[in-house]
Chains A and B, each alone.
Chain A
Amino acid sequence: MATRDKDMADLSVVGQSVYRTDANPKVTGRALHVGNIEMPGMLHVAVLRSPYAHARIKRIDKAKAEALSGVAVVLTGAEIAKMPGVDAHFGPAFRDQPILAVEKVCYAGDPVVAVAAVDRRTAEDALQLVEVDYEQLPAVFDVLEAVKSDSPFVHEQHRPAKAFADLAHVKAGRQSNICYHFKLRTGDVDKAFAEADRVFEDTFSSPPAQHVPMEPHVTLVYLDEHARLNVWTSSQSPSYVRTELSATFGIPMNRIRVRVPYIGGGYGAKLYAKLEPLATVLALITRKPVRYALTREEEFLTITKHGVVTKIKTAVKNGAITARKCEVYWDTGAYAEIGPRIGHKSGYTSAGPYRIPNVWIDSYCVYTNRVPAGAFRGFGVPQVIWAYDSQTDLIARALGADPVEFRLKPALEEGEPFATGTLVHSFGIKEAIRQAAQAIDWTKPRAVQAGTKRRGKGIAAGVKAVLTPSISGAIVILNADGTANVLSSTVEMGQGSETTLGQIVAEELGLSVGQVHIVQPDTDVTPYDTITAGSRSTYHMGNAVRMAAAKVKAALCEVVAAKLEVAPDDLLARNGRVCVRGMEERGMTIGEIFLAKFGSLGTTLAAEAVCQPTAAHMDPETGQSEASRGGGMSTDRRPHGPGNRPVGKMHGVLVSFGHRRGSRGRYRNRARRSSATHQRRRHRHGDQSETL
C-alpha cells in the first residue's frame, strides 16, 4: 500500500473527485439517445412473436397485412433465407439465431414476422392481419431434462461463429442440447473423496432474470448517399456489431458505420448483436431509414440472465477442503448467444478462490426452449458464487468452524496457482475477506433482537473471471490550444467511463478534465474495442488512452527538451505546459510547442495505442492455461475518482445480487410468457439494502 500512496501523491487529476461530464446533459434531458433521432421518411418496426415454445411454421399468410395502407414491407424468415449473400442466422458463439424464424420457432417470443410501416401503430395493425399456422413440437424447459439423451433437441445442428479469439475453439456439435462443455481436471478427485473424513453434496439453482435497462433496446439503420450502411444503436459493443453485420450481410467493413450515443444502461443486455440484423435487412429492402425499438414487454422476450443449476460435492479431511467436484448447467435458452463464453469463464471459477488440491469441473452450456440467455452483470460468476460459497458456509457450520476463518485458511495467496494452474496476481482475496468481516463487526456478538425485521450477518467470497484476450485501441488528438479529443469505442452507459478516461488523458497530458473531450463510439472514427463489459474498460481502454496520450506527450517533450536543452525524462506536463521537474517556471505552453514544432497553430498532434495486455494460452481439452504477466486475476484498488461513481456502481451490483432470491417465471408450451413478463419483479431503488 505504501507504494500506491506514493504513486497517488504524484497524480493531480486521477484520484480527484470530479464532476461527471455526462451529468448535466443527462439530468437536463439534452443527452442524445438513439430514440431521439428522427429521419425523413423513417419507418417503424413491429414484430410478430411466436406463441409457442417449440413449433414448426406451416404457413404464413401476410397478404392482408401487405395491403394495409402505410405498410412498406412484411417480412418472413423464409424470405431472408432466400436473399443472396445473406446469412439468415447470426450469433457471437454459434450462428444459430435466425433474424426471423426460419422453418421453426424455438421459444415463446421468437420473432416470426416483421413489419416496417410509416408509424408504429400501422405496423402493429398490420401484424394483427398476419395469419401463422404452427405445428407444435415437444419442448424442453428444464436444463437437467435437456441434457438427457431422450430430450427433444432445440437445434438439429450447431454452427460455430468465428468472431472472438477466446471462442475460436468452439466446435460444431453432434445432436445434443449441450452446445459447449468446459472440463477441468486437477489432481485425483476420486482418491480424495475416498480418503475424506466427510463429504458434502448439494445442489443450488439460480433463476433467470431480466436486466431491465432504463432504455430498452433501440436501433436506427439507414443507407447514406454512398449506400453505406449507417447504424445508430443502443449497444455495448459497436465494434462487434460492425463485424457481425459485415459477416451476416457480406458488406465490407468500411461500408458499415456503427455509432453509439449515450445509452440508458446495459448490464450485459446490450452486448453483441440484438436488433441490428433485422433493422438492417428491413433498411436494405425498403431503402428507407428504419427504427426498431423494443417495448418493455419485448425486452423480457429478447434476453435474460442464465438460470443455472450447480451440483457441488466437496471432500473435507482434517478440517480442510481436499477436493471439489462441480457440475454446472447453464440454461442458455433457445439460442447460445454468449452462453459458451459464460460457461467457460465462469465455469472455471466454480470451485471458488480457494486452495483445493483436487478439482473436477464440468460446465455445460445447454439449449432449452426458453428466452435466450446472455451476459448479465458478472457474466455468470454470481450464479456460481451463490453455489460454491453457500456450500462453503454449510461446511463451516457443519464443522463448527468460524465461516470467516474457514475461508481465510484456504484463500489463495498472491502468486499461488488457481484451479486452472494460472498464477493469481493482485489477488487480495484474504484482505477483502478480512476487511468485509471488519466492516460488519464480524467478531462482535449480535445483540438480541426483537420485532419481526431482524438483521443477520453472513460472508461470502468469490472470484471474477476476466475476459482475455481482449483488445482496446484509442487515438488521442491534441489540439494547438491545449485541448484534446480522444477517440475510443468504450460506450458510456452510466458507468462513468467518459469521466474516467478523460481523467486519465488529462493526467498524462497535464490538462484539466474539462479540456479533454471523449468522442462517442463511431466505427468510422474510433478504433476497435472488444466490448464495454466485464469491468474491463478502465483497465484496457484506460491503458490504451494513457499510452496514446503518453506518445503525444513524448512528442511534446522532444520539442521542449531540444529548445530548453534538458533531458526529456526531466520534463513534466502540468497545467497545460511542459516544464522542467522541480523548476516548473521553466517550460513551454502547448501553443508554444506547436509553434516551435509546426510553425503554426492550425494543426493537431495525434497518436494511437492498442492495449492487449494478456496473451493467455489455454488448452480447451484440459483447461490448463498459462498467462503472461498482467492477465489472470487483477484487482485495481485505486479509485480513479472517489466521487459518486464507485458507490453508484456498488449499488448496482447489490441490486443484481437480489436476483438470487427472485421468483421464477413459469414456462408452458401453450401459454405465452407475457403475463409473467408483466408481473415479473423489477428491482427498484427503494428495494436495495439500507447500508453498503
Chain B
Amino acid sequence: MTIRSFELLQPRSLPEAVEMLREHGDDARPLGGGTTLVILMKQRAVHYPFLVDLQTIPGLNGIGQESDGLRIGALASHRMVELSPVVRRLLPVVAEAFGHIGNVRVRETASVGGNLAHADYRLDPPPPLLVLGADIGAVGPNGSRRISLKNFFRGMYETALEPSEILVDVKIPAPPADSKAVYLRYSTLSANDWPCLGVAALLTKENGRCKELRLALGGVAPTPLLIDGLEFTRDQSLDDGVVDKVLQKVEEQISPSSDLRGSEWYKRRMARLFVQKAIAQLNGDQG
C-alpha cells in the first residue's frame, strides 16, 4: 500500500512544533522515527494531513548521565540506547530491552519517545523502565511537566499526554544500591516478533534478604503493568512460599487476552513461569 499525500512540517524548535500541533489539531501528529506511524499510514489505517517532524529539532536525541540518574532524549534511536556505553554501564537492563526490539534496521530508525508515546501494551522498554521508576518529560502549550511512567499509560494506545503535548525525554533514576535488574522477554512466534510477554524485575537485597522487589509485565494487560502490593516481601527471604504469594499478586493484576501469540490461559501460565525465572535469576545462588 502507499501513503496518501500529506504535508511534512519541519519545525526548528519545540515551541514551534507545539504551535504546529496546536494549529492543526487532530489533523496532525508528531513524527519520531516513524516505524509505526508510517506503517499505519501505508496501510491506510490512519491518515494525518500534517506530520510534524521532530527530527529537525536539535538536541532531542541526547543520552547522558545526570546527578540523579540517566536522561534519554525522545529522539534517541533504539540502537543508540542499545549501544550507548553510559547506558550499558549504569543500566544494562535498559540497553538490553531496547536491543530486543524488531531487527537492527528498525532499531536504527525507531525513537525512544515514539515507542513510549505509542503505548503498545507489548513493547519491550516499558517493563524495565517501570521497575526502575522512570518518568517522562512533556512540553505542551501550557509549558513543561514530568509524568511518572506508572501514570503515563492510560489504556491500549492511550497515554496521559494532552493534545499538542510532545514527549521530550525519559529520566531514569539511579537504581538503589545493591540492586539487580533483569528483563526476560518471551516470544512464541519468530524471534523478531513482538513478545508474547515480557517480565522486568528489580531486586534490592540487604543481608541476604529481600529489601525491595519490583515487577513489571508487558503483553498481559491493556497497558504495561507495574505490579502493586509487593511490600510484603520486605525482609523476607524469597523462598517458595513468598514467591507463591508474589505470583498470586501477579495473577490478580494481569488480564491477558487470547491472540496469535497465545491464549489467555497460556499467557497466565507463562506470566507465572517467567516471573519465577526472573526472581530466581536475581536471587542467584540462594534461589
Binary contact readout B22-55 vs A (1 if CB under 8 angstroms, 0 otherwise): 0000000000000000000001100000000000
Q: Is the interface of B mostly helix, strand, loop or mixed?
A: loop
Query: What is the chain B residue whose CB lies nearest that of A664?
Result: B260
The interface-forming segment of B1-9, B82-90, B146-154, B235-243 is B1-9
Residues of A near B1 (CB, < 8 A) are 124, 295, 297
Q: Which residues of B contact A687 (CB under 8 A)?
A: 190-191
Q: Which of A668-688 contact B (CB under 8 A)?
A: 674, 676, 679-684, 686-687
Query: Which residue of the partner chain, among B191, B192, B260, contacts A679 with CB atoms under 8 Å?
Result: B260
B190 near A679 with CB under 8 A, answer no
Contact partners of A665 in chain B: CB under 8 A:
260
Report yes or no: B191 in contact with A121, Cβ–Cβ below 8 A: no
Distance (whole angstroms) from the CB of A301 to the closest CB of chain B:
13
Shortest Cβ distance from residue A137 to the other chain B in the assembled complex, whole angstroms:
27
Q: Is the CB of A681 within 8 A of B4?
A: no
Contact between B44 and A124, CB atoms less than 8 A apart: yes
Cβ–Cβ contact B191 & A125, under 8 A: no
Report B26 CB to chain A, min CB distance, Å: 19
Q: Which one, A295, A676, A680, A684, contacts B191 given CB within 8 A?
A: A684
A684 proximity list for chain B (CB < 8 A): 190-192
A128 within 8 A of B: yes
In the bound complex, residues from chain B placing their C-beta under 8 Å from that of A120 are: 2
Given the known A-B contacts A124-B44, A665-B260, are A681 and B193 also in contact in the complex, defined by CB atoms under 8 Å? Answer: yes
Residue numbers in A under 8 Å from B259 (CB-CB): 679
Taking the complex as formed, is B104 at the interface, i.e. its CB lies under 8 A from any CB of chain A?
A: no
* B170-224 interface (Cβ within 8 A of A): 189-193
Whether A686 and B191, one on each chain, are in contact in the complex, defined by CB atoms closer than 8 angstroms, is yes
A121–B4 touching, CB < 8 Å: yes
A680–B260 touching, CB < 8 Å: yes
User: How distant is A543 from chain B, measured CB to nearest CB, in Å?
Assistant: 40
Shortest Cβ distance from residue B212 to the other chain A in the assembled complex, whole angstroms: 29
A120's nearest neighbour on chain B, judged by CB, is B2
CB contacts under 8 Å to B, within A264-303, are 295, 297
Indicate which residue in A119, A128, A679, A683 contacts B44 across the interface (CB closer than 8 Å).
A128
Whether A663 sits at the interface, judged by CB under 8 Å, is yes
Query: Inside 8 A of B189's CB, which chain A residues have their CB?
Result: 681
Inter-subunit contact B260/A121 (CB<8 Å): no
Residue of A nearest to B188 (CB): A663
In the complex the two chains form, is B4's CB within 8 Å of A683's CB? no
Which residue on B lies nearest to A665, using beta carbons?
A: B260
A125 near B260 with CB under 8 A, answer: no
Contacting residues, chain B, for A663 (C-beta < 8 A): 260
The docked-state distance in angstroms from the alpha carbon of A125 to that of B260 is 31
**Contact mask A539-562 → B, CB, 8 Å, 1/0?**
000000000000000000000000
Closest to B4 in A: A125
Q: How far is the CA of A683 from the CA of B1 in the complex (A)?
A: 23
Taking the nearest CB of chain B, how far is it from the CB of A675, in angstroms? Answer: 9
Give bound CA distance, A680 to B259, whole Å: 11
Q: When the two chains form the complex, which single residue of B5, B190, B261 contacts A121, counting CB atoms closer than 8 Å?
A: B5
Q: State how many angstroms separate the Cβ of A81 from the closest Cβ of chain B.
A: 28
B44: chain A residues at CB < 8 Å are 124, 128
Contact A681 B5 (CB under 8 A): no
- Bound together, the chains give a CA A282 to CA B141 distance in angstroms of 52
Residues of B within 8 A of A124 (CB): 1-2, 4, 44
Bound form: Cα–Cα A676–B190 in Å: 15
Residues of A within 8 A of B3 (CB): 121
Determine which of A119, A674, A682 lies in contact with B190 in the assembled complex, contact meaning CB atoms within 8 Å. A682
CA distance A642 to B113 in the complex (A): 52
| Chain A: minimal CB distance from B114 (Å) | 19
Q: Are B193 and A121 in contact (CB under 8 A)?
A: no
| Bound: A686/B190 CA distance, A | 8
In the assembly, what is the distance between CA of A663 and CA of B190, in Å? 12
Give the distance in Å from the alpha carbon of A160 to the alpha carbon of B3 in the complex.
42
Size bracket, chain B contacts:
10 to 19
Distance from A113 Cβ to chain B, minimum over Cβ atoms (Å) = 15
Closest chain A CB from B33 CB (angstroms):
19
Task: Give the docked Cα–Cα distance between A647 and B43 (Å).
Answer: 37
CA distance A681 to B188 in the complex (A): 10
Q: Which residues, 237 to 267 on B, are CB-close (under 8 Å) to A? A: 259-261
The distance from the CB of A382 to the nearest CB of chain B, in whole angstroms, is 20
CA of A128 to CA of B1, assembled, Å: 12
What is the distance, in angstroms, from A122's C-beta to the closest C-beta of chain B?
9
Min CB gap B197→A, angstroms: 15
**A681 and B260: CB pair below 8 A?**
yes
Neighbouring A residues of B4 by C-beta, 8 Å = 121, 124-125
Question: Distance in Å from the Cβ of B3 to the closest Cβ of chain A?
Answer: 7
Q: How far is the CA of A119 from the CA of B192 in the complex (A)?
A: 33
Which residues of B have CB within 8 Å of A674? 43
Distance (whole angstroms) from the CB of B258 to the closest CB of chain A: 9
* Complex alpha-carbon distance, A665 and B261, angstroms: 11
Q: Which residues of B are found within 8 Å of A680, using beta-carbon distances?
A: 260
Among A665, A676, A680, A684, max chain B CB count under 10 A is at A684
Q: In the bound complex, what is the Cα–Cα distance between A119 and B3 (angstroms)?
A: 12
The reply to whether A676 and B260 contact each other, CB–CB distance below 8 Å, is: yes
Minimum CB–CB distance for B208 against chain A, Å: 27
B257–chain A nearest beta-carbon distance, Å? 13
Contact A683 B260, beta carbon cutoff 8 Å: no
Distance (whole angstroms) from the CB of A116 to the closest CB of chain B: 15
Q: Are B190 and A681 in contact (CB under 8 A)?
A: yes
Question: Which residues 65-85 of B sit at the A interface, judged by CB distance below 8 A?
Answer: none
B258-279 residues at the A interface, CB under 8 angstroms: 259-261
Alpha-carbon distance between A297 and B1 when the two chains are bound, in angstroms: 9
Which chain B residue has the least Cβ–Cβ distance from A681?
Answer: B189
Across the interface, do B190 and A683 meet the contact criterion of CB distance under 8 Å?
yes
Which residues of the partner chain A approach B2 to less than 8 Å between Cβ atoms?
Answer: 119-121, 124
Tell me the complex Cα distance, A119–B2, Å: 10
Interface centre among B193, B259, B260 (most CB of A within 10 A): B260
Residue of B nearest to A685 (CB): B190
Q: Quick one: closest B residue to A124, CB to CB?
A: B2
Residues of A close to B193: CB separation below 8 A:
681
Chain A residues lying within 8 Å of B192, measured Cβ to Cβ, are 684
**Smallest CB gap from A684: residue in B:** B190
| A663 to chain B: closest residue by CB | B260
Provide the bound-state CA to CA distance between A121 and B1, in Å: 8
B261 neighbours in A (Cβ, 8 Å):
679
Chain B residue nearest to A683 (CB atoms) is: B190
User: Which residue on A lies nearest to B273, using beta carbons?
Assistant: A452
Question: CA A120 – CA B191 in complex, angstroms?
Answer: 33
Chain A residue nearest in CB terms to B39: A678
In the bound assembly, the distance between CA atoms of A163 and B44 in angstroms comes to 40
Least CB separation from A678: chain B residue: B43
Nearest A residue to B261 via CB reads A679
Once bound together, how far apart are the Cα atoms of A141 and B3, in whole Å? 33
**Closest CB in chain B relative to A578 CB, distance in Å:** 55
Residues of A within 8 A of B191 (CB): 684, 686-687
State the Cβ distance, A680 to closest chain B Cβ, in Å: 7
Q: Which residues in B have their C-beta under 8 angstroms from that of A676?
A: 260
Q: Which residues of B contact A295 (CB under 8 A)?
A: 1
In the complex, what residue of chain B is closest to A123 when comparing beta carbons? B2
Q: Chain A residues near B43 (CB, 8 Å)?
A: 297, 674
Q: How far is the CA of A684 from the CA of B189 in the complex (A)?
A: 10
A674 to B1: give the CA distance in the assembly, Å.
13
Distance of A674 Cα from B43 Cα, bound (Å): 10
Q: In the assembled complex, which residues on chain B have CB atoms less than 8 Å from the CB atom of A297? A: 1, 43
**How far, in whole Å, are A663 and B258 apart by their CA atoms in the complex?**
12
Residue ID in chain B nearest A295 by CB atoms = B1
Add 15 more A-B contacts to A665-B260, A679-B261, A681-B189 (CB < 8 A): A119-B2, A121-B4, A121-B5, A124-B1, A124-B4, A128-B44, A295-B1, A297-B43, A676-B260, A680-B260, A682-B190, A684-B190, A686-B190, A687-B190, A687-B191
What are the 4 A-B residue pairs with the smallest beta carbon separation, nearest first?
Answer: A121-B2, A681-B189, A679-B260, A684-B190
22 examples of A-B residue contacts, CB within 8 angstroms: A120-B2, A121-B2, A121-B3, A121-B5, A124-B1, A124-B2, A124-B4, A125-B4, A295-B1, A663-B260, A679-B259, A679-B260, A679-B261, A681-B190, A682-B190, A683-B190, A684-B190, A684-B192, A686-B190, A686-B191, A687-B190, A687-B191
